[in-house]
Amino acid sequence: MTAGPEILSPEQAAERLIADIARPARLLVAISGGSDSCGLLIALSKFNPAGSGLSLFAATVDHALRPESADEARAVAALCAKLGIPHFIRRWEGEKPRTGVSAAAREARYRLLIDVADEIDATAIVTGHTLDDQAETIAMRAARGEGEENSGLAGMAQAVLLDRRRWLLRPFLATRRSDIRAFLTKEGLGWIDDPSNVDPHYERVRIRGRLAQESPFDAAAQAAAATRRTALSDEAARLLRKHVTIAQGVLAHIDPVGLQGDAAVRRHALSLLAAVLGGRAHALGSDSMDRVMAFLDGGLPGRITAGRVIFDRRREGLYLVRENRGILPLHIPPGNTAIWDGRYRITNAGPDDIIVSPTAPDRDEALALFPGVPPAIAMRAVAAMPFIEANALLSTEDRQNKGMAERSTVRPLLAPFDRFLPQFELRFGVELAVLLGCDVFPRLPVKDSSRKR
Protein backbone atom coordinates (compact mmCIF):
# COMPACT_ATOMS: atom_id res chain seq x y z
CA MET A 1 0.00 0.00 0.00
CA THR A 2 1.43 3.35 -0.98
CA ALA A 3 2.11 5.92 1.73
CA GLY A 4 2.79 8.88 -0.56
CA PRO A 5 0.81 12.06 -1.19
CA GLU A 6 -0.99 10.64 -4.25
CA ILE A 7 -4.78 11.15 -4.13
CA LEU A 8 -6.74 8.04 -5.14
CA SER A 9 -10.33 7.70 -6.28
CA PRO A 10 -12.42 5.02 -4.51
CA GLU A 11 -12.05 2.82 -7.58
CA GLN A 12 -8.26 3.23 -7.66
CA ALA A 13 -7.92 2.57 -3.92
CA ALA A 14 -10.01 -0.60 -4.15
CA GLU A 15 -8.09 -1.85 -7.19
CA ARG A 16 -4.77 -1.16 -5.46
CA LEU A 17 -5.76 -3.13 -2.36
CA ILE A 18 -7.03 -6.01 -4.46
CA ALA A 19 -3.76 -6.02 -6.42
CA ASP A 20 -1.58 -5.84 -3.29
CA ILE A 21 -3.34 -8.37 -1.07
CA ALA A 22 -1.75 -11.81 -0.74
CA ARG A 23 -4.03 -14.61 -2.03
CA PRO A 24 -6.08 -16.44 -1.05
CA ALA A 25 -7.61 -13.82 1.22
CA ARG A 26 -10.75 -13.14 3.21
CA LEU A 27 -11.44 -9.47 3.87
CA LEU A 28 -13.87 -8.42 6.59
CA VAL A 29 -15.18 -4.96 5.70
CA ALA A 30 -16.33 -2.91 8.70
CA ILE A 31 -19.46 -1.11 7.51
CA SER A 32 -21.56 1.29 9.56
CA GLY A 33 -23.83 2.49 6.77
CA GLY A 34 -22.01 5.81 6.44
CA SER A 35 -20.66 7.01 3.13
CA ASP A 36 -17.04 6.00 3.75
CA SER A 37 -17.65 2.38 4.70
CA CYS A 38 -20.42 1.92 2.12
CA GLY A 39 -18.14 3.32 -0.57
CA LEU A 40 -15.40 0.92 0.49
CA LEU A 41 -17.65 -2.14 0.34
CA ILE A 42 -19.18 -1.14 -3.01
CA ALA A 43 -15.80 -0.36 -4.57
CA LEU A 44 -14.25 -3.62 -3.40
CA SER A 45 -17.24 -5.66 -4.61
CA LYS A 46 -17.29 -3.85 -7.95
CA PHE A 47 -13.60 -4.32 -8.74
CA ASN A 48 -13.10 -7.83 -7.33
CA PRO A 49 -13.25 -10.15 -10.34
CA ALA A 50 -14.65 -13.66 -10.05
CA GLY A 51 -12.01 -16.27 -9.36
CA SER A 52 -9.58 -13.71 -7.92
CA GLY A 53 -9.06 -15.68 -4.72
CA LEU A 54 -10.43 -12.81 -2.66
CA SER A 55 -13.60 -13.31 -0.61
CA LEU A 56 -15.52 -10.40 0.92
CA PHE A 57 -17.41 -10.40 4.20
CA ALA A 58 -18.96 -7.48 6.09
CA ALA A 59 -19.69 -6.69 9.72
CA THR A 60 -21.69 -3.93 11.39
CA VAL A 61 -21.26 -3.01 15.03
CA ASP A 62 -24.43 -1.67 16.61
CA HIS A 63 -23.18 0.52 19.46
CA ALA A 64 -26.73 0.84 20.84
CA LEU A 65 -26.14 4.54 21.52
CA ARG A 66 -29.10 5.78 19.43
CA PRO A 67 -32.66 4.38 19.12
CA GLU A 68 -32.34 4.01 15.35
CA SER A 69 -29.03 2.11 15.37
CA ALA A 70 -30.63 -1.35 15.16
CA ASP A 71 -32.67 -0.35 12.10
CA GLU A 72 -29.55 1.09 10.48
CA ALA A 73 -27.70 -2.18 11.03
CA ARG A 74 -30.56 -4.07 9.37
CA ALA A 75 -30.45 -1.66 6.42
CA VAL A 76 -26.76 -2.47 5.97
CA ALA A 77 -27.59 -6.17 6.15
CA ALA A 78 -30.09 -5.67 3.31
CA LEU A 79 -27.45 -3.93 1.17
CA CYS A 80 -24.99 -6.77 1.77
CA ALA A 81 -27.65 -9.36 0.89
CA LYS A 82 -28.26 -7.52 -2.38
CA LEU A 83 -24.52 -7.66 -3.12
CA GLY A 84 -24.27 -11.31 -2.12
CA ILE A 85 -21.81 -10.54 0.67
CA PRO A 86 -22.11 -12.46 3.98
CA HIS A 87 -22.90 -9.96 6.74
CA PHE A 88 -22.66 -10.06 10.53
CA ILE A 89 -24.23 -7.76 13.13
CA ARG A 90 -22.66 -7.46 16.57
CA ARG A 91 -24.16 -5.32 19.33
CA TRP A 92 -22.25 -3.49 22.04
CA GLU A 93 -24.09 -4.78 25.08
CA GLY A 94 -23.99 -3.55 28.65
CA GLU A 95 -23.97 -0.23 30.40
CA LYS A 96 -22.23 2.60 28.54
CA PRO A 97 -19.76 4.94 30.29
CA ARG A 98 -20.87 8.47 31.18
CA THR A 99 -17.59 9.96 29.99
CA GLY A 100 -15.14 8.90 27.30
CA VAL A 101 -17.88 7.18 25.35
CA SER A 102 -16.14 7.67 21.99
CA ALA A 103 -12.98 5.88 23.14
CA ALA A 104 -15.01 3.13 24.80
CA ALA A 105 -17.10 2.68 21.65
CA ARG A 106 -13.94 2.43 19.56
CA GLU A 107 -12.53 -0.26 21.87
CA ALA A 108 -15.82 -2.18 21.76
CA ARG A 109 -15.97 -1.88 17.98
CA TYR A 110 -12.50 -3.31 17.47
CA ARG A 111 -13.12 -6.09 19.99
CA LEU A 112 -16.33 -7.16 18.26
CA LEU A 113 -14.77 -6.92 14.80
CA ILE A 114 -11.88 -9.10 15.94
CA ASP A 115 -14.39 -11.66 17.23
CA VAL A 116 -16.02 -11.83 13.80
CA ALA A 117 -12.61 -11.97 12.09
CA ASP A 118 -11.68 -14.92 14.31
CA GLU A 119 -14.98 -16.62 13.48
CA ILE A 120 -14.40 -16.48 9.73
CA ASP A 121 -10.59 -16.59 9.91
CA ALA A 122 -10.29 -13.29 8.07
CA THR A 123 -6.98 -12.32 6.51
CA ALA A 124 -7.65 -8.71 7.53
CA ILE A 125 -10.28 -6.28 8.72
CA VAL A 126 -10.77 -3.35 6.33
CA THR A 127 -12.08 0.06 7.39
CA GLY A 128 -13.15 3.15 5.46
CA HIS A 129 -10.91 5.75 7.14
CA THR A 130 -10.35 8.54 4.61
CA LEU A 131 -7.93 11.33 3.79
CA ASP A 132 -10.33 13.65 5.65
CA ASP A 133 -10.05 11.45 8.77
CA GLN A 134 -6.28 11.50 8.40
CA ALA A 135 -6.22 15.31 8.28
CA GLU A 136 -8.39 15.52 11.41
CA THR A 137 -6.26 12.99 13.28
CA ILE A 138 -3.04 14.83 12.50
CA ALA A 139 -4.55 18.18 13.47
CA MET A 140 -5.61 16.79 16.85
CA ARG A 141 -2.19 15.23 17.47
CA ALA A 142 -0.34 18.36 16.33
CA ALA A 143 -2.18 20.36 18.97
CA ARG A 144 -0.64 18.11 21.64
CA GLY A 145 2.83 17.53 20.19
CA GLU A 146 6.30 19.01 19.84
CA GLY A 147 6.68 20.11 16.24
CA GLU A 148 8.38 17.79 13.77
CA GLU A 149 9.51 15.47 16.59
CA ASN A 150 5.87 14.59 17.28
CA SER A 151 5.45 11.03 15.93
CA GLY A 152 1.69 11.65 15.76
CA LEU A 153 2.26 13.84 12.70
CA ALA A 154 2.69 10.61 10.75
CA GLY A 155 -1.05 10.14 11.19
CA MET A 156 -2.86 6.83 11.04
CA ALA A 157 -0.92 3.89 9.66
CA GLN A 158 -2.27 2.16 6.60
CA ALA A 159 -2.02 -1.15 8.44
CA VAL A 160 -2.38 -1.92 12.16
CA LEU A 161 -2.05 -5.25 13.94
CA LEU A 162 -4.89 -5.69 16.46
CA ASP A 163 -4.40 -7.83 19.57
CA ARG A 164 -1.23 -9.21 17.95
CA ARG A 165 -3.36 -11.47 15.75
CA ARG A 166 -5.55 -9.64 13.18
CA TRP A 167 -4.45 -7.02 10.68
CA LEU A 168 -6.60 -3.94 10.04
CA LEU A 169 -6.13 -2.21 6.67
CA ARG A 170 -7.12 1.35 5.69
CA PRO A 171 -7.08 1.51 1.87
CA PHE A 172 -8.98 4.85 1.69
CA LEU A 173 -6.40 6.97 3.55
CA ALA A 174 -5.48 8.62 0.25
CA THR A 175 -9.13 9.06 -0.80
CA ARG A 176 -11.32 12.11 -0.16
CA ARG A 177 -14.79 11.78 1.32
CA SER A 178 -16.24 14.00 -1.38
CA ASP A 179 -14.97 11.57 -4.03
CA ILE A 180 -16.46 8.63 -2.17
CA ARG A 181 -19.86 10.31 -2.02
CA ALA A 182 -19.65 11.20 -5.70
CA PHE A 183 -18.87 7.56 -6.45
CA LEU A 184 -21.88 6.35 -4.44
CA THR A 185 -24.14 8.89 -6.12
CA LYS A 186 -22.96 7.69 -9.53
CA GLU A 187 -23.79 4.12 -8.45
CA GLY A 188 -27.27 5.26 -7.39
CA LEU A 189 -26.68 4.46 -3.71
CA GLY A 190 -27.22 6.50 -0.57
CA TRP A 191 -25.76 6.35 2.93
CA ILE A 192 -26.60 7.04 6.56
CA ASP A 193 -25.45 10.26 8.22
CA ASP A 194 -24.66 9.75 11.91
CA PRO A 195 -25.77 12.89 13.83
CA SER A 196 -22.72 12.59 16.09
CA ASN A 197 -20.60 13.58 13.08
CA VAL A 198 -21.89 17.14 13.39
CA ASP A 199 -22.05 17.35 17.18
CA PRO A 200 -19.51 19.99 18.35
CA HIS A 201 -19.31 18.23 21.70
CA TYR A 202 -16.70 15.96 20.07
CA GLU A 203 -13.15 17.19 19.45
CA ARG A 204 -13.00 15.63 16.00
CA VAL A 205 -16.11 17.52 14.89
CA ARG A 206 -14.66 20.82 16.11
CA ILE A 207 -11.41 20.09 14.28
CA ARG A 208 -13.38 19.22 11.14
CA GLY A 209 -15.09 22.58 11.21
CA ARG A 210 -11.80 24.37 11.70
CA LEU A 211 -10.11 22.51 8.84
CA ALA A 212 -12.94 23.47 6.50
CA GLN A 213 -11.91 27.11 6.96
CA GLU A 214 -8.17 26.55 6.56
CA SER A 215 -5.78 25.61 3.78
CA PRO A 216 -5.97 22.13 2.22
CA PHE A 217 -4.40 19.18 4.02
CA ASP A 218 -0.68 18.83 3.24
CA ALA A 219 -0.51 15.18 2.18
CA ALA A 220 3.17 15.51 1.27
CA ALA A 221 4.05 16.65 4.80
CA GLN A 222 2.13 13.69 6.26
CA ALA A 223 3.91 11.27 3.93
CA ALA A 224 7.28 12.73 4.93
CA ALA A 225 6.39 12.39 8.63
CA ALA A 226 5.34 8.77 8.08
CA THR A 227 8.63 8.06 6.30
CA ARG A 228 10.61 9.67 9.14
CA ARG A 229 8.75 7.67 11.78
CA THR A 230 9.22 4.39 9.92
CA ALA A 231 12.93 5.03 9.37
CA LEU A 232 13.46 6.00 13.01
CA SER A 233 11.63 2.92 14.25
CA ASP A 234 13.53 0.63 11.88
CA GLU A 235 16.85 2.02 13.14
CA ALA A 236 15.67 1.51 16.72
CA ALA A 237 14.82 -2.10 15.79
CA ARG A 238 18.39 -2.59 14.57
CA LEU A 239 19.67 -1.24 17.89
CA LEU A 240 17.56 -3.83 19.73
CA ARG A 241 18.76 -6.66 17.53
CA LYS A 242 22.47 -5.81 17.81
CA HIS A 243 22.84 -4.46 21.33
CA VAL A 244 19.96 -5.52 23.62
CA THR A 245 19.22 -8.69 25.55
CA ILE A 246 16.27 -9.38 27.85
CA ALA A 247 16.63 -12.02 30.56
CA GLN A 248 13.60 -13.84 31.99
CA GLY A 249 11.34 -11.28 30.32
CA VAL A 250 12.08 -8.63 32.97
CA LEU A 251 15.71 -7.49 32.80
CA ALA A 252 16.99 -5.66 29.73
CA HIS A 253 20.66 -4.96 29.11
CA ILE A 254 22.10 -2.59 26.52
CA ASP A 255 25.81 -2.96 25.82
CA PRO A 256 28.08 0.12 25.85
CA VAL A 257 28.12 0.39 22.04
CA GLY A 258 24.32 0.54 22.01
CA LEU A 259 24.47 3.61 24.24
CA GLN A 260 26.31 5.51 21.54
CA GLY A 261 25.17 6.60 18.09
CA ASP A 262 22.19 8.65 17.00
CA ALA A 263 20.41 10.24 19.96
CA ALA A 264 16.94 10.14 18.34
CA VAL A 265 17.25 6.40 17.68
CA ARG A 266 18.38 5.68 21.25
CA ARG A 267 15.60 7.83 22.63
CA HIS A 268 12.95 6.05 20.54
CA ALA A 269 14.21 2.60 21.48
CA LEU A 270 14.53 3.38 25.19
CA SER A 271 11.14 5.07 25.47
CA LEU A 272 9.32 2.02 24.07
CA LEU A 273 11.54 -0.57 25.76
CA ALA A 274 10.87 1.10 29.11
CA ALA A 275 7.14 1.12 28.38
CA VAL A 276 7.18 -2.64 27.81
CA LEU A 277 9.26 -3.38 30.94
CA GLY A 278 7.13 -0.98 32.98
CA GLY A 279 3.81 -2.33 31.69
CA ARG A 280 2.70 1.04 30.36
CA ALA A 281 0.51 1.44 27.28
CA HIS A 282 2.37 4.51 26.00
CA ALA A 283 6.02 5.35 25.41
CA LEU A 284 7.70 7.51 28.03
CA GLY A 285 6.79 11.18 27.69
CA SER A 286 9.13 13.94 26.58
CA ASP A 287 9.93 15.20 30.08
CA SER A 288 10.82 11.72 31.32
CA MET A 289 12.96 10.99 28.28
CA ASP A 290 14.73 14.33 28.58
CA ARG A 291 15.81 13.30 32.10
CA VAL A 292 16.84 9.81 30.98
CA MET A 293 18.88 11.08 28.02
CA ALA A 294 20.61 13.74 30.11
CA PHE A 295 21.52 11.05 32.65
CA LEU A 296 22.89 8.68 30.01
CA ASP A 297 24.75 11.35 28.08
CA GLY A 298 26.48 12.30 31.32
CA GLY A 299 28.35 9.02 31.02
CA LEU A 300 28.60 8.40 34.78
CA PRO A 301 27.48 5.29 36.67
CA GLY A 302 24.27 5.67 38.65
CA ARG A 303 20.53 5.11 38.64
CA ILE A 304 17.45 7.01 37.59
CA THR A 305 13.78 5.97 37.64
CA ALA A 306 11.28 6.90 34.93
CA GLY A 307 8.01 5.33 33.87
CA ARG A 308 8.15 2.71 36.66
CA VAL A 309 11.53 1.51 35.31
CA ILE A 310 14.97 1.77 36.90
CA PHE A 311 17.74 2.74 34.48
CA ASP A 312 20.98 1.49 36.09
CA ARG A 313 24.19 2.60 34.33
CA ARG A 314 27.21 0.36 34.92
CA ARG A 315 30.60 -0.04 33.28
CA GLU A 316 29.28 -3.00 31.31
CA GLY A 317 26.29 -1.06 29.97
CA LEU A 318 22.76 -0.10 30.95
CA TYR A 319 20.27 -2.30 32.80
CA LEU A 320 16.53 -1.63 32.75
CA VAL A 321 14.08 -3.33 35.12
CA ARG A 322 10.65 -2.64 36.59
CA GLU A 323 10.96 -0.87 39.93
CA ASN A 324 9.63 -2.92 42.83
CA ARG A 325 7.15 -0.34 44.10
CA GLY A 326 3.49 -0.55 43.19
CA ILE A 327 3.45 -4.18 41.99
CA LEU A 328 0.15 -5.36 43.43
CA PRO A 329 -1.15 -8.90 43.91
CA LEU A 330 -3.94 -10.05 41.59
CA HIS A 331 -6.69 -12.58 42.30
CA ILE A 332 -7.80 -14.65 39.29
CA PRO A 333 -10.83 -16.99 39.55
CA PRO A 334 -10.88 -20.34 37.74
CA GLY A 335 -11.28 -20.12 33.98
CA ASN A 336 -10.48 -16.40 33.91
CA THR A 337 -7.75 -14.42 32.19
CA ALA A 338 -6.37 -11.18 33.62
CA ILE A 339 -3.48 -8.79 33.07
CA TRP A 340 -1.00 -8.50 35.91
CA ASP A 341 0.98 -5.28 36.33
CA GLY A 342 0.46 -4.40 32.67
CA ARG A 343 3.21 -6.89 31.76
CA TYR A 344 1.68 -10.36 31.67
CA ARG A 345 -1.58 -11.94 30.53
CA ILE A 346 -2.28 -14.82 32.90
CA THR A 347 -4.93 -17.50 32.41
CA ASN A 348 -6.08 -19.64 35.33
CA ALA A 349 -6.85 -22.99 33.73
CA GLY A 350 -7.22 -24.78 37.05
CA PRO A 351 -10.30 -25.48 39.15
CA ASP A 352 -9.43 -23.09 42.00
CA ASP A 353 -8.53 -19.45 42.54
CA ILE A 354 -4.95 -18.29 42.13
CA ILE A 355 -3.10 -15.22 43.35
CA VAL A 356 -0.36 -13.60 41.29
CA SER A 357 2.15 -11.49 43.17
CA PRO A 358 5.80 -10.40 42.89
CA THR A 359 8.38 -13.11 43.49
CA ALA A 360 10.03 -12.88 46.89
CA PRO A 361 13.70 -12.08 46.21
CA ASP A 362 16.22 -14.78 47.15
CA ARG A 363 19.89 -14.08 46.52
CA ASP A 364 20.87 -17.59 45.42
CA GLU A 365 17.87 -17.89 43.12
CA ALA A 366 18.52 -14.42 41.70
CA LEU A 367 22.16 -15.20 40.87
CA ALA A 368 21.12 -18.50 39.27
CA LEU A 369 18.43 -16.87 37.13
CA PHE A 370 20.60 -13.91 36.13
CA PRO A 371 24.20 -15.16 35.90
CA GLY A 372 26.83 -12.51 35.44
CA VAL A 373 24.48 -9.72 36.55
CA PRO A 374 25.39 -7.56 39.57
CA PRO A 375 23.62 -9.07 42.62
CA ALA A 376 21.61 -5.95 43.47
CA ILE A 377 20.22 -5.78 39.94
CA ALA A 378 19.51 -9.53 39.88
CA MET A 379 17.55 -9.19 43.13
CA ARG A 380 15.46 -6.37 41.64
CA ALA A 381 14.80 -8.44 38.56
CA VAL A 382 13.56 -11.45 40.54
CA ALA A 383 11.19 -9.21 42.48
CA ALA A 384 9.65 -8.06 39.18
CA MET A 385 8.79 -11.62 38.12
CA PRO A 386 5.29 -13.07 38.66
CA PHE A 387 4.78 -15.71 41.36
CA ILE A 388 1.62 -17.79 41.21
CA GLU A 389 0.15 -19.54 44.22
CA ALA A 390 -3.13 -21.10 45.24
CA ASN A 391 -5.68 -19.19 47.28
CA ALA A 392 -4.36 -18.82 50.82
CA LEU A 393 -7.45 -20.64 52.17
CA LEU A 394 -6.19 -23.92 50.66
CA SER A 395 -3.88 -26.09 52.73
CA THR A 396 -0.26 -26.56 51.71
CA GLU A 397 -0.98 -30.15 50.72
CA ASP A 398 -3.93 -29.07 48.56
CA ARG A 399 -1.82 -26.45 46.81
CA GLN A 400 0.85 -29.00 45.95
CA ASN A 401 -1.65 -31.55 44.73
CA LYS A 402 -3.57 -29.14 42.54
CA GLY A 403 -0.41 -27.85 40.81
CA MET A 404 -1.79 -24.32 40.48
CA ALA A 405 1.21 -22.77 38.76
CA GLU A 406 1.43 -25.60 36.23
CA ARG A 407 -2.20 -25.05 35.29
CA SER A 408 -1.69 -21.34 34.64
CA THR A 409 -0.64 -19.83 31.34
CA VAL A 410 1.65 -16.80 31.56
CA ARG A 411 2.26 -14.75 28.43
CA PRO A 412 4.32 -11.55 28.24
CA LEU A 413 2.64 -8.38 26.97
CA LEU A 414 4.01 -5.70 24.69
CA ALA A 415 2.09 -3.02 26.54
CA PRO A 416 2.47 -0.20 23.96
CA PHE A 417 1.69 -2.55 21.05
CA ASP A 418 -0.44 -5.32 22.49
CA ARG A 419 -3.72 -3.75 21.39
CA PHE A 420 -2.51 -1.72 18.39
CA LEU A 421 0.79 -2.21 16.56
CA PRO A 422 0.98 0.35 13.71
CA GLN A 423 2.83 -0.55 10.53
CA PHE A 424 5.34 2.22 11.29
CA GLU A 425 6.58 0.24 14.31
CA LEU A 426 6.31 -3.27 12.86
CA ARG A 427 10.01 -4.16 12.76
CA PHE A 428 10.53 -2.73 16.23
CA GLY A 429 7.58 -4.72 17.57
CA VAL A 430 8.89 -7.91 15.98
CA GLU A 431 12.31 -7.43 17.59
CA LEU A 432 10.70 -6.82 20.99
CA ALA A 433 8.57 -9.93 20.59
CA VAL A 434 11.66 -12.01 19.84
CA LEU A 435 13.48 -10.66 22.89
CA LEU A 436 10.51 -11.41 25.15
CA GLY A 437 9.70 -14.79 23.65
CA CYS A 438 6.23 -13.77 22.40
CA ASP A 439 4.25 -15.58 19.74
CA VAL A 440 5.17 -14.81 16.13
CA PHE A 441 3.10 -12.01 14.58
CA PRO A 442 0.99 -12.82 11.51
CA ARG A 443 2.59 -11.55 8.32
CA LEU A 444 1.46 -8.24 6.87
CA PRO A 445 -0.98 -9.41 4.15
CA VAL A 446 -0.20 -6.59 1.69
CA LYS A 447 2.91 -5.37 -0.10
CA ASP A 448 4.86 -3.13 2.26
CA SER A 449 6.05 -0.46 -0.18
CA SER A 450 6.86 1.94 2.68
CA ARG A 451 10.08 -0.01 3.36
CA LYS A 452 11.44 -0.48 -0.14
CA ARG A 453 15.12 0.33 -0.21
pLDDT tens digits, residue range 304-344? Answer: 999 999 999 999 999 999 999 999 999 999 999 999 999 99
Q: How far apart are CA 81 and CA 75, in angstroms?
A: 10
Q: Grade residue 406 by pLDDT with cuts at 50, 70 and 90.
A: low
375-402 mean pLDDT? 73
pTM: 0.88
pLDDT, position 216 = 63
Domain 10-224 indexed as CATH 3.40.50.620: yes
Res 200 pLDDT > 80: no
Q: How far apart are CA 168 and CA 442, in angstroms?
A: 12
Q: Grade residue 106 by pLDDT with cuts at 50, 70 and 90.
A: very high
C-beta separation of 232 from 265 below 8 A:
yes
Q: How far apart are CA 346 and CA 367, in angstroms?
A: 26
C-beta separation of 66 from 92 below 8 A:
no
Q: Grade residue 219 by pLDDT with cuts at 50, 70 and 90.
A: confident
Looking at residue 366, its amino acid is A
Res 150 pLDDT > 70: no
Which residues, in sequence order, are bridge partners of residue 167?
124, 161
Question: Per-domain residue ranges for the chain?
Answer: 10-224, 330-412
> Alpha carbon of 230 to those of 4, 178, 251, 355: distances in Å?
13, 29, 27, 41
